[in-house]
Amino acid sequence: MRYSRGDIVRFRIGSDEIQEGEIQVIEEDHNEDILYINSFSDRHGDRRRWAYKVPERSIVSRVPGY
């Protein structure tokens, strides 16, 4: 699946956590693309912003409507 800068995606962190975030940069590689994603977390009323470097295989889905 091909992704573009600005796409909102769901991606896996570790074995059981799923995050949503916006793709900022895509690093193309001959083996697998690496996506840099800004994620937003709203746990316990504390809104935090995180940045992740994620291999394309960790993307679960594109979020519809964005």
Q: Which two tokens stand for residue 26?
A: 């895509």
| Residue range 55-60: mean pLDDT, rounded | 95
Confidence of residue 24 (pLDDT cuts 50, 70, 90): very high
Q: How many domains does the chain have?
A: 1
Structure confidence at residue 41 (pLDDT): 66
Neighbours of 63 (CB within 10 A): 13
Q: Would 1 be classed as within a structural domain?
A: no
Q: Would 2 be classed as within a structural domain?
A: no
Write out the residue range of the structural domain in which residue 37 sits.
Answer: 8-62
Confidence of residue 14 (pLDDT cuts 50, 70, 90): confident
d(CA 45, CA 58): 27
Average pLDDT, the chain: 87
Q: Would 18 be classed as within a structural domain?
A: yes
Q: Would 25 be classed as within a structural domain?
A: yes
pTM: 0.81
Q: Which two tokens stand for residue 36?
A: 């840099």
4 with 62: CB under 8 angstroms?
no
Structure confidence at residue 1 (pLDDT): 58
